[in-house]
Each structure stands twice: as C-alpha cells, then as structure tokens.
C-alpha cells in the first residue's frame, strides 16, 4: 500500500511537470488553434540557459527568475518574427514551421552545450521527507509546490487583471477584440511569451530528476500533449487535471503492470488515453464544439 502511495506521490511530481507544459500548449492553442510542437525544445533550451548561469556562479533562484524573464522575451520574439510571417498559411504549413523550430532548438542546444548529460541542481534540501512510513523526495514535493504556485499566478493573472482579460478576449474573438481597441497581435505574442515562461519552469524542475540533455523534453512533450487532449484542449483546468492524471498513470503502469518496462510504458499510457478519447472525443473537460453546418 505504501508503495502505491509513494508511486502516486512521485507520479504527482512528474504530473506537475506535464500539467505545466500541457497548460502552455493549451494557452497557445486557445489563441491560435495550433499546438506548438516546439514547446518542449524551447523549454529545454531555457533550462540550458539557466544551467549556464548557475554554472557561472549565479545563485539558483536568481538564475531561475532571470531564465523565466528571458524565456518570456524569447517567446514574444519568436511569435513576432518567426510565426507572424506565416500566420495566414495553411495549418499544416505552420506545423512544419513548428517542426523546424523544434529541430533548430534541439540541434543548437547540442552544438552549444554538447550532448554530454549534465546535472541540474535542485533548490530543495536533499534529504527525503518522511510521513508515516512513506518517503517523499523533497525535490518532488518542491516541484509540485512550484508548479502549483505558477499555475495559481497564471489563474489570477487571467481572471483578475485587465491584461489577462484582454488576452482571453483576443484568443476567443479577435475581431471584436480589435473593435474594443485590443492590439491582438501583441496579445498573441504575449501568449507565446507566457507559454515559454511556463515551459522554462517545467524544464528547470524536471532537469534535476531526468538530467539535462538536448533530448530531455521530447518524451515529456508527448505526455503533455496527451494530457492536454485528455483534459480537453480547450480547457486550461482540464489540461492541468490531465497532466497530473497522466503523471500518476505513467508511474502506476510502469511499476505495477508486469511486462511493461520503461520501454512499453509510454505506449501503454498512450493506448489508455486514446481509449478515453474514443469514448469522450473532446476530452474529459473539453467543450464539444457544435459547428453550424
């Protein structure tokens, strides 16, 4: 029983990472109806930037916040200069641009920082926290807390600030937004910036557990994508729920289903998720979009 709880706890920790990346995907999706497949690589690259700063002697939390700011600016610039020129192109063409970005970030990271696996420090104490008979890694608990704080801040931002409201409006109805004076283009760019910032937090939290290397985020991106769809790609809350669920599911399947080692764990988790989607095609919390014929 204790092992189950431990696995669930560990699952929640990774789940938090998936939730954060899933949220980043949903944010961009809501504004553009596109899934940013390059989100994972952007997060990985941000993490390398953080690593360089820490390696150069900067204190952890300073590097942490500086990376978030850099990622935010980076996201804005990428939207304005890389995505903006093709925003009217067919969807699949834009997907190819995302793939291009993905490949560029991955390759640049390998070139600049080498493919040697690096350690990424944790700001949390190294001893485990014991509650009852169950051991919880303090990095795990710390990650979950950091993720939840980030999610809470985002929620407050979108719900209670004028800029957040404007961003929501711009995502939902660009034409009406222009008619009230919202500069929709900048809202989109800011959305990308926030998504990049959230991604960077996810990257920095997960790097300690899986070690930093250019291919660190590819599996995570897939899980996050699945989580976002599971929760319903139109629902930020759903994405978060999906993320935690997928994290726990992955851990439980990996630990308790006999023939499934690390290799097949991904496949099994995905098959389960797809099973859910076949029953509820818009995801658990997604709105079934009724299109008028």
- DSSP letter at 118 equals B
Q: Which stretch binds another protein (CB under 8 A): 2-10, 143-151, 173-181, 205-213?
A: 173-181
* Upper half-sphere CA count for residue 46 (Cβ side, 13 Å): 33
Encoded tokens for 215: 């291919």
- Alpha-carbon distance of 130 to 124, in angstroms, equals 15
- Alpha-carbon distance of 80 to 46, in angstroms, equals 19
Q: Which residues pair with 136 in a beta bridge?
A: 129
Is residue 192 at the binding interface for another protein, with CB under 8 A as the rule? no
Q: Which is nearer to another protein, 143 or 177 (CB)?
A: 177
Nearest to 150 by CA among 72, 81, 94, 86: 72
Is residue 156 at the binding interface for another protein, with CB under 8 A as the rule? no
Size of the site for another protein (CB under 8 A): 57
For another protein, the binding residue among 5, 8, 58, 169 (CB under 8 A) is 169
For another protein, the binding residue among 1, 116, 180, 290 (CB under 8 A) is 180
Nearest to 66 by CA among 78, 54, 79, 55: 54
Mark 115-154 with x for binding to another protein (rule: CB under 8 A) and - for no binding: ----------------------------------------
Tell which positions 4-63 bind another protein, by CB under 8 A. Answer: 35
Shortest distance (Å) from residue 162 CB to another protein: 7
41 neighbors 102 (Cβ within 8 angstroms): yes
Q: Which is nearer to another protein, 55 or 267 (CB)?
A: 267
Is residue 222 at the binding interface for another protein, with CB under 8 A as the rule? yes
- Contacts for 244 with CB less than 8 Å, ≥ 6 apart: 11, 12, 15, 16, 18, 19
Binding interface with another protein (CB under 8 A) = 35, 82, 85-86, 89-90, 92-97, 99-104, 106-108, 110-111, 162, 165-166, 168-169, 172-173, 175-184, 222, 225-226, 229, 233, 263-264, 266-267, 270-271, 273-274, 277-278, 281, 293
């Amino acid at each position: 029983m204790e092992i189950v709880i431990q696995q669930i706890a560990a699952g929640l920790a990774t789940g938090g990472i998936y939730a954060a990346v899933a949220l980043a995907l949903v944010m961009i999706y809501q504004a553009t109806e596109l899934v940013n497949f390059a989100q994972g690589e952007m997060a990985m690259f941000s993490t390398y930037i953080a690593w360089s700063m820490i390696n150069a002697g900067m204190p952890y939390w300073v590097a942490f916040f500086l990376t978030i700011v850099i990622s935010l600016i980076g996201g804005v610039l990428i939207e304005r200069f890389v995505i903006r020129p093709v925003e009217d192109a067919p969807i699949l063409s834009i997907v190819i641009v995302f793939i291009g970005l993905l490949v560029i970030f991955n390759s640049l990271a390998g070139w600049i920082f080498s493919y040697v696996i690096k350690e990424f420090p944790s700001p949390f104490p190294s001893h485990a926290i014991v509650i009852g008979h169950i051991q919880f890694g303090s990095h795990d608990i710390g990650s979950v807390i950091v993720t939840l704080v980030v999610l809470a801040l985002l929620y407050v931002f979108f719900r209670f600030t004028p800029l957040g409201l404007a961003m929501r409006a711009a995502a939902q109805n660009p034409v009406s937004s222009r008619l009230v004076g919202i500069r929709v283009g900048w809202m989109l760019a800011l959305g990308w910036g926030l998504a990049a910032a959230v991604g960077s937090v996810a990257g920095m939290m997960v790097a300690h557990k899986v070690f930093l290397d250019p291919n660190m985020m590819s599996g995570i991106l897939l899980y996050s994508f699945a989580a976002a769809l599971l929760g319903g790609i139109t629902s930020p809350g759903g994405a978060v729920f999906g993320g935690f669920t997928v994290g726990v599911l992955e851990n439980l399947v990996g630990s308790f289903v006999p023939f499934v080692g690390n290799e097949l764990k991904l496949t099994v988790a995905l098959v389960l998720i797809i099973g859910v989607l076949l029953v509820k095609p818009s995801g658990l919390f997604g709105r079934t979009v009724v299109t008028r014929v």
